[in-house]
Structure 1
């Protein structure tokens, strides 16, 4: 079930780089959220309609009645969200997304890039709780863009870090050691969320090894519920298009074309 709620802001603060953390009290959404789902947040107050459209954010964590979102500040919409204060109410629609991460594997390689790590964090938390085996990889251009380090430490998750400039973790791309990690985890499924070039690179490696690989796509969305058809990607198996918000957001790498 999808809920359209006025949610009390518990926390809305700067983390690092261009990333903020937003925590809202949303019991109905929290209770019904599954790893991989997202919400649509209305940037402005009820009587304002510029910008008109909501913004889509992955549900990065759930704690009791509270959902946690991480968001990068880019344009007009996110600049409005930054201004919202603790105790204010903000409109949230969710949980959204129908095709989610597969739960039928005992071993996973989870790769997150930049703000995309928020798309896999709740899944990591859940498989850790279930005692499943996993290797988690988190990459970004520089340390400041690894905005979820504190969350990772708080949840006791072991992560391999990579930065382009070597400012934290290992210098280089998340793909540079992926072949050897896959070799050591041949029974694993790849779970990926992040920038499109990174997902393309990981997908190419996975497909070449005939390895299951699931991509959680990030896309600009107008409605979030499949009506506007504004967030489509090509389904190569059917030579048609599928909606990220409705048929997704998770797709098998071999079944879609990342433009």
Structure 2
């Protein structure tokens, strides 16, 4: 069931770089699937600039609270930074119809920048199920590692390899540096990926070389979030058609998508 409600803001704070953490008390969303997302309205009822909601991955569920990590790029996300504890915010969620599969023995999770927030809840679900996985968290420089606190608070330090392009934290290099080794060292391995398009293309190049199953959680600008506006389509090469990220996705078989 999808809920369109106003929820109480419990926390809204700057983490690092341009990234903020928004914690909302939303008991109706406590069973939201890993990979689902929320459309958040940045303005109040009598304000219409900007008019559209903003899409954010449901990055974690803690009791009756959901956590959303968001980067500040434009007017809408800038307005969101002014939300204070106790404020009400309008949220449409959980959205999406296709999510990560759980039928593999081992997973290599690859998150680039804020894209790691599209994988974090999946990581928690895998751990709860006793599944084996290794996660990669890649950014350009240290100040963009906004989810390090979440990783430590949830006990994932030994499960996550951090890469920075400039070597300012963790391993120096791209997320693909050791990917060949990571996806071939265990049998029945699948990739779960979320991040910039260039990064996902590079990950898919490695996956195709080894014929490793790969599932991409796509990021896209959305107006509606539930398939009406047709504003977030990508090419499905298998069916020679277009699919909506918000409705047929947001997770797709990486071998089928051209982006």
- Normalising by structure 1, we get a TM-score of 0.98
The residue matched to 2:199 in structure 1 has which SS? helix
Contact 1:5–1:26 (Cα < 8 Å) also in 2: no
Contact 1:4–1:92 (Cα < 8 Å) also in 2: yes
Contact 2:183–2:190 (Cα < 8 Å) also in 1: no
TM-aligned CA deviation for residue 185 of structure 1: 2.3
Query: What's 1:90 paired with?
Result: 89
Structure 1 position 162 matched with structure 2 position 163: yes
Number of residue-to-residue matches in the alignment: 257
TM-aligned CA deviation for residue 29 of structure 1: 1.7
* Cα distance between partner residues in 2 of 1:6 and 1:181: 43
TM-aligned CA deviation for residue 186 of structure 1: 3.7
Name stretches of at least 5 consecutive residues in structure 2 with no aligned partner: none
The residue matched to 2:124 in structure 1 has which SS? helix
Structure 1 position 174 matched with structure 2 position 163: no
The residue matched to 2:212 in structure 1 has which SS? coil
* Cα distance between partner residues in 1 of 2:50 and 2:25: 24
* Cα distance between partner residues in 2 of 1:180 and 1:145: 26
Query: What's 1:68 paired with?
Result: 67
Q: How does 1:5-84 map to 2 (within 5 A)?
A: 5-30=5-30, 32-84=31-83
* Runs of at least 4 residues off by over 6 Å: none
Contact 2:106–2:187 (Cα < 8 Å) also in 1: no
Q: How does 1:124-203 map to 2 (within 5 A)?
A: 124-157=123-156, 158-203=159-204
TM-aligned CA deviation for residue 105 of structure 1: 1.1
TM-aligned CA deviation for residue 164 of structure 1: 0.6
* Cα distance between partner residues in 1 of 2:207 and 2:13: 37
The residue matched to 2:155 in structure 1 has which SS? coil
Q: Deviations over 1:16-36 (max 9, x none)?
A: 010000000111122x30000
* Cα distance between partner residues in 2 of 1:229 and 1:235: 14
More displaced, 20-29 or 180-189? 180-189
* Cα distance between partner residues in 1 of 2:186 and 2:234: 30
- Normalising by structure 2, we get a TM-score of 0.98
Q: How does 1:227-238 map to 2 (within 5 A)?
A: 227-238=228-239
CA RMSD, aligned part only?
A: 0.7
* Cα distance between partner residues in 1 of 2:121 and 2:186: 22
TM-aligned CA deviation for residue 210 of structure 1: 1.1
Contact 1:189–1:213 (Cα < 8 Å) also in 2: yes
TM-aligned CA deviation for residue 108 of structure 1: 0.3
Q: How does 1:220-231 map to 2 (within 5 A)?
A: 220-231=221-232
Name stretches of at least 5 consecutive residues in structure 1 with no aligned partner: none
Structure 1 position 4 matched with structure 2 position 15: no
* Cα distance between partner residues in 1 of 2:117 and 2:92: 18
* Cα distance between partner residues in 2 of 1:100 and 1:180: 26
* Cα distance between partner residues in 2 of 1:51 and 1:14: 22
Query: What's 1:208 paired with?
Result: 209
More displaced, 125-134 or 228-237? 125-134
* Cα distance between partner residues in 2 of 1:105 and 1:141: 30
